[in-house]
Structure 1
Amino acid sequence: MKALVLAGGVGSRLRPITHTLAKQLLPIANKPVLFYVLESIRDAGIREVGIVVGNTTAQEIEKAVGDGSDFGLEVTYLLQNEPRGLAHAVLIACDYLGDDDFVMYLGDNFVVGGINDLVDRFRRGRPEAQVMLTKVAEPHAFGVAEMNEDGRVVGVEEKPRNPKSDLVLVGVYVFSPAVHKAIAEIKPSWRNELEITDAIQWLIDQGHRVEPTVISGYWRDAGSLGDILELNRFVLEGIESSVVGEVDAASELIGHVVVEPGAVVSGSRIVGPVVLGAGSVARNSYLGPFTSIDRDCTVIDSEIECSIVLRGARIEGVGRVEYSLIGRETRVTAADMPRAHRLVLGDHSDVQVSG
């Protein structure tokens, strides 16, 4: 069995930060989302992984993941020139996948507990597709699955106006080679995309078995700021304290706090769960719960809570920052004119200011 990880796309809901960073590499508790995906694939006993990358994501993702050996994997990169749907990603990977069964995993999804159960059920039952499902309050925003009384999937529909159930497709699937025939038969949707839901429905219509694995644990599509911060919060809740860096006597650490090697904390109060990355500095500051600060960052005379700070950022003299995602090598400083706001913002920014 192989795995196909989808790591293309433009991350439009996370602009402007995704103008310069692939959304699959956004750090959750200082580890990219994509790394969690690759680790769960490895833990399911799969070694060969194809990663589908886009023109804007290829270089960064290849640099971050390399040949996959750091994860115990053998990685092959597959270029998708433009995002034309999930089924199109399978289409361009057809030669790589050959006649092997494969897991398809969306690279910006996070599933607690991994995918072992999904893969094991497929291997035992040998359906043409095994799909991961979960219940949500607003299913119309997802691909929705309908099941019969025997527990088999009998219909799937992409973002329906009137959903037939509250069970939606999580971004992890297992397919037999039969899916290639299905994709060859379907037509582009109104979005001009080849929809994986249409391919699954084709399998159902042709009498092939599509079986569900329903999960009740935590799942999140890390596609928006709210999702990213919520996912960071969830992962941080499970960390254990580890103080390897330097913490002076004037500082106070409360709760689960990670201070990575080379990090320095002086005259500061940290209330966990918090991760302070390697080589970072917190001086005369307050770091509040559910905050992850990447490596080589500086926080001076500031307060920050419920936020993610990426590599090399500097926050100085800022009264309070919360519910924020701060990009790499960013500078956030106090203004001399308290009644004015001086901003330099990227395209599609969403900024809230007071006063």
Structure 2
Amino acid sequence: MKALVLAGGAGSRLRPITHTSAKQLVPVANKPVLFYGLEAIRDAGIREVGIVVGDTEAEIRGAVGDGSAFGLDVTYLRQDAPRGLAHAVLIAREYLGGDDFVMYLGDNFIVGGIDGLVDRFRADRPQAQIMLTHVSDPRAFGVAELDGAGRVVALEEKPEFPKSDLALVGVYLFSAAVHEAVAELKPSARGELEITDAIQWLIDHGHRVESTVITGYWKDTGNVTDMLEVNRLVLEGVEPHVEGEVDGASELIGRVVVEAGARVAGSRVVGPVIVGAGSVVRDSYVGPFTSIDRDCAVLDSEIEYSIVLRGASIDGVGRIECSLIGREAEVTPAPRVPKAHRLVLGDHSKVQISK
């Protein structure tokens, strides 16, 4: 079995962060989301991985390399533009050959990995196997309709009037039969080759499609709210350890990680928290569910339930919550007189200012 990992796409819901970075490489608990998926694939016993890349190919290649660091053999497959999930299968046809494969969306996060799903597919041998989960607003997802016996009978991509609340999770398993389905597809109204249409083709032509409704945790980390929630979940599992410097005037409470080369001085840190290598926390409060990446500075400030990316600095700011601070960003107080906010914001930025 091989794996096909999708790591293209513009990441429009995470702008402006993704103007300069691949969305799959935005870190949670100081590790890129994509890495969690690659580790899950490896842990399921799969070694050959094709990564579909687009405009951020160089960055993805730089982070993943040949895959050997993950115990994988990685091949890169170029997609000229985001033309749908089924288009990714189409361009990977030669690489996949006649092998079964798991297709994994690189910005998805699934607790517990995919071992059980892969084992079930290998044992039952359907032509396709999908994962489903109940969601509050299925209009934003591919939606599955099941019959009374729990078999998949219909799928629809982002329907205006969903027939169920069962959304497709971003992990799919296929036999080589899916290539015939993909070859028959025409672009949808969105101009894309939809994987839901390919699965529907398999159903309509008598192929067996199985589904698993998961009750565990799954997130598409395509927006800031979901990124922060996944960060919270991962931090829940960290074990406290201190390799950096913590002075006697500081207090560490709960599960706090201070990586080698990091310094905490005159501060109170309440876990779960990670302070990345080379970062400085001084005269500050860092609250639960905060990840501070490498080479950052948090000085005379308070921050909680947030992600701070590499090289960012926060200096003299009263309190920050529920925030994603980009690479090399600088957050400082505005002048006291006149009382005004001074902003330099990139396209698609979102700012909330307390009165």
- 1:191-237: per-residue Cα shift (whole Å, max 9, x none)? 11000000000000000000012210000000011111111111111
- Give, in whole Å, the separation in 1 of the partners of 2:161 and 2:333: 49
Question: Number of matched residues?
Answer: 354
Aligned to 2:45: 45
Matched, 1:249 2:235: no
Aligned to 2:315: 316
Aligned to 1:71: 70
1:168 Cα deviation after fit: 1.2
Aligned to 2:290: 291
Matched, 1:350 2:322: no
Aligned to 1:113: 112
Give the counterpart letter for 2:24 in structure 1: Q
Aligned to 1:125: 124
- 1:162-213: per-residue Cα shift (whole Å, max 9, x none)? 2222211000000001111001111100011000000000000000000012
Aligned to 2:206: 207
- Give, in whole Å, the separation in 1 of the partners of 2:342 and 2:78: 40
Aligned to 1:14: 14
Aligned to 2:226: 227
Give the counterpart letter for 2:88 in structure 1: A
1:142 Cα deviation after fit: 1.0
- 1:119-174: per-residue Cα shift (whole Å, max 9, x none)? 11110111100101111122222111112233321111111222222211000000
Give the counterpart letter for 2:28 in structure 1: I
Aligned to 2:142: 143
1:27 Cα deviation after fit: 0.5
- Give, in whole Å, the separation in 2 of the partners of 1:285 and 1:16: 27
Larger CA deviation: 137-146 vs 32-41: 137-146
Give the counterpart letter for 1:43 in structure 2: D
SS at match of 2:239: coil
- Give, in whole Å, the separation in 1 of the partners of 2:336 and 2:144: 55
Give the counterpart letter for 2:68 in structure 1: S
SS at match of 2:103: strand
Matched, 1:169 2:178: no
Give the counterpart letter for 1:282 in structure 2: V
1:106 Cα deviation after fit: 0.3
| TM score, norm. by length of structure 1 | 0.98
- Give, in whole Å, the separation in 1 of the partners of 2:141 and 2:150: 20
SS at match of 2:202: helix
- Give, in whole Å, the separation in 1 of the partners of 2:7 and 2:248: 45
Give the counterpart letter for 2:265 in structure 1: S
Aligned to 1:335: 334
- Give, in whole Å, the separation in 2 of the partners of 1:137 and 1:280: 39
Aligned to 2:280: 281
Give the counterpart letter for 1:110 in structure 2: F
- Give, in whole Å, the separation in 1 of the partners of 2:15 and 2:139: 24
SS at match of 2:192: coil
Larger CA deviation: 295-304 vs 141-150: 141-150
1:354 Cα deviation after fit: 2.5
- Give, in whole Å, the separation in 1 of the partners of 2:16 and 2:277: 26
Give the counterpart letter for 2:71 in structure 1: G
Larger CA deviation: 327-336 vs 59-68: 327-336
- Give, in whole Å, the separation in 2 of the partners of 1:16 and 1:99: 40
SS at match of 1:315: strand
5+ long unaligned stretches in structure 2: none
1:322 Cα deviation after fit: 1.1
- Give, in whole Å, the separation in 1 of the partners of 2:3 and 2:91: 14
Give the counterpart letter for 2:107 in structure 1: D
1:335 Cα deviation after fit: 1.9
1:333 Cα deviation after fit: 1.3
- Give, in whole Å, the separation in 2 of the partners of 1:91 and 1:26: 27
- 1:281-338: per-residue Cα shift (whole Å, max 9, x none)? 1000000111000011111111111110001111111111111111111111122236
- Give, in whole Å, the separation in 2 of the partners of 1:308 and 1:94: 38
- Give, in whole Å, the separation in 2 of the partners of 1:325 and 1:7: 21
Matched, 1:25 2:8: no
| TM score, norm. by length of structure 2 | 0.98
Identity fraction in percent:
75
1:117 Cα deviation after fit: 1.1
- 1:251-299: per-residue Cα shift (whole Å, max 9, x none)? 0011111111111100000011100001111000000111000011111
- Give, in whole Å, the separation in 2 of the partners of 1:14 and 1:32: 14
